[in-house]
Structure 1
Amino acid sequence: MFSRILIPTDGSAASAETGMAGIRFAQKFDADVVGIFVAPAFQYPLYIQTMPPAYLSDEEYRNSMQTVGETYLNELRIMATQAGLHFTAEVVFSDAVAIAIIDAARRFHCDLVFIGSHGRSGCQQLFLGSVTLKVLSACPLPVLMYRPATAT
């Protein structure tokens, strides 16, 4: 039924639990797994002329976030490999996380997005926004939302 499943991660405990559940789900279909980590785009300081010497450059920031993303994606890679599944991953830089997830699902020809929800509701959801809600409402592909036990 599903041949390639996209699993986004942000490195949180809830995301790690969602990743494990996504791998178990993919294993039932012997589906390939695609992992994605979306890092925020680099933001230049307001007054670039007075930039403090300790401020990261664009290249340093990108290298640092690439390493962070690869670390989180490697956790998914290990789980997928242990489950006998083919795994591909990508670190993307974007301030539009939901759009980046949907774009990756299209680029990798996924037929399902398996995404976690942190379980925020009410005013907290309103103020913080919800990547999962945005993916659910904008993605043309099927989306399976998983609510991890560690969600707060």
Structure 2
Amino acid sequence: MVRHLLVPIDGSDLTAGAVSEALAMAKQCGARVSFFHVQPSYYGRPDVAIYGEGLVLDPALSEQFSQANARLARSILDHALEQARAAGVEASGDTCVSALVHEAILEAAERLKCDLIAMASHGRRGLAGLLIGSETQRVLTQARCPVLVIPPADR
């Protein structure tokens, strides 16, 4: 029986569909939900200065990016938590900064003692899937708990 779902979200329309599906499942099972958002990081550090050919950015800009990402994460999580309240499902929200999204998701599932990860798939196939990769695929192959992949609603 499912008691605690981890639902990774990124604010996209795809994850909005996953939130709705996960909340419906949680309500039916009497489970609770932990929403999780991974904030981007470069080289594993949120404070790294960005340099390029003929370009040096002010280190303060890096801090501004970090603050903007934190505000966006809070907004994404707050929206999902509002949906959970409206559905009558117990829920919490968590975020972290990481360059490796799939590893952050797997760590959160372990740390929060979730027994199911319910996540959307962007459905990349062919060359795009090979080159870009899939966080969902990485989670599927490395998770220690079951993973429910929620396809886009238009399929």
- TM-score, reference length from structure 2: 0.88
> Equivalent residue for 1:64?
68
Equivalent AA in structure 2 for residue 57 of structure 1: S
CA distances 1:45-91 after superposition (whole Å, capped 9, x unpaired): 126xx634596133x22221111011111121011111111111111
Which deviates further from its counterpart, 4-13 or 82-91? 82-91
Equivalent AA in structure 2 for residue 31 of structure 1: A
Equivalent AA in structure 1 for residue 127 of structure 2: C
- Residue 11 of structure 2 corresponds to residue 11 of structure 1: yes
The answer to whether the Cα contact below 8 Å between 2:14 and 2:152 also exists between their aligned partners in 1 is yes
Equivalent AA in structure 1 for residue 51 of structure 2: L
SS in 2 for 1:57: helix
SS in 1 for 2:72: helix
> Equivalent residue for 1:94?
98
- Counterpart CA distance in 2 for 1:106 and 1:78 is 25
Q: CA deviation at 1:144?
A: 0.5
> Equivalent residue for 1:117?
121
The answer to whether the Cα contact below 8 Å between 2:51 and 2:57 also exists between their aligned partners in 1 is no
> Equivalent residue for 1:31?
31
Equivalent AA in structure 1 for residue 109 of structure 2: A
Structure 2 gaps of 5+ residues are: none
The answer to whether the Cα contact below 8 Å between 1:4 and 1:32 also exists between their aligned partners in 2 is yes
CA RMSD between the two structures: 1.8
- Counterpart CA distance in 2 for 1:93 and 1:64 is 12
Identical amino acids, percent of aligned pairs: 30
> Equivalent residue for 2:50?
45
- Counterpart CA distance in 2 for 1:135 and 1:112 is 12
- Counterpart CA distance in 2 for 1:52 and 1:144 is 41
Structure 1 gaps of 5+ residues are: none
